[in-house]
Structure 1
Amino acid sequence: MGRMSRESVSAEQLPEYAERVLEVAELIPPGRVMAYGDIAEWIGEGGPRQVGRVMALYGGAVPWWRVVRVDGVLLPGHEQRALGHYRAEGTPLRTAARSAAGRLPKIDMARARWDGGAGGGADEGAHI
């Protein structure tokens, strides 16, 4: 997913903002997701684009598939890898839609979105 893993970047090289984003990504329970903007709101800094940039550069060492677009569309170029993770974790998905990559499901954001609270099971349906 990301060009660099956290292990390949020393603590001094990893920007503090990136470290905070990656820490939140690691907290997301299996079967749940947070949108890029949700993470920005959680840490109180930046926005969806800044979080997306961090994930693109450094997200390979964290569960990157749990950080998603707010519309639930799978990450372009990584759809099949992400879909494998979602199915293995029981992440709620919606009916497949026609896309440039073929017929791919979307994440059911109403059921899969995690608000950072305790519990975090995919069937609890927490919202932000």
Structure 2
Amino acid sequence: MREPVDPADVDEAVFDVVERIPPGRVSTYGAVGRLVGVGPRRVARALSSGGGAVPWYRVLRADGTCAEPVRVRQLALLSAEGVPARDGRVDLSAVGWP
């Protein structure tokens, strides 16, 4: 039987991975989740509830788009780091991490 995982530990693991995404690069909720061992929705929940101290804006949907509530701010922050976006979509094959 597996030991229950403390949600705060999952959040910290997500934050640790997101902090490793280099400036000018992006990752996806799914890629971060695979590194941590959780699903993409759990990554999104961690970032939305307490990810303000990490570069949350470097994490995108699997199709390279931003979550609607933060889309304008996220695209502006990514643009400031030199991440190109076309029609609100980032080319993950060009700037994806890892």
Instruction: Determine the structure 1 residue equivalent to 2:46.
Output: 54
Q: How far did residue 65 of structure 1 move?
A: 0.5
Task: Report the number of matched residues.
Answer: 93
Instruction: Determine the structure 2 residue equivalent to 1:79.
Output: 71
RMSD: 1.5
Q: Return the alpha-carbon distance in structure 2 between the equivalents of residues 30 and 70 of structure 1.
A: 19
In structure 1, stretches of 5+ residues that fail to align are 1-12, 97-104, 116-128
AA aligned to 1:109 is: L
If each structure's strand is expressed as a fraction of its own residues, which one has the higher value?
A: 1
Instruction: Determine the structure 1 residue equivalent to 2:93.
Output: 110
Off by >2 Å, runs of 4+ in structure 1: none
Task: Give the TM-score taking structure 2 as reference length.
Answer: 0.87
Instruction: Give the stretch that moved more between structures: 23-32 or 72-81.
Output: 72-81
AA aligned to 2:78 is: Y
Q: Return the alpha-carbon distance in structure 2 between the equivalents of residues 36 and 79 of structure 1.
A: 15
Q: SS of the counterpart of 1:73?
A: coil
Where does 1:1-128 land on structure 2 (aligned, <5 Å)? 15-43=8-36, 45-94=37-86, 96=87, 105-115=88-98
Deviations 1:32-88 (A, max 9, x none): 111011011112x11101111111111111111001111111221212211111111
Give me the identity figure in percent.
40
The higher radius of gyration belongs to 1
Structure with larger RCO (C-alpha < 8 A, sep 6+): 2
Q: Return the alpha-carbon distance in structure 1 between the equivalents of residues 28 and 39 of structure 2.
A: 11
In structure 2, stretches of 5+ residues that fail to align are 1-5
If each structure's helix is expressed as a fraction of its own residues, which one has the higher value?
A: 2
Q: Return the alpha-carbon distance in structure 2 between the equivalents of residues 73 and 62 of structure 1.
A: 19
Task: Give the TM-score taking structure 1 as reference length.
Answer: 0.68
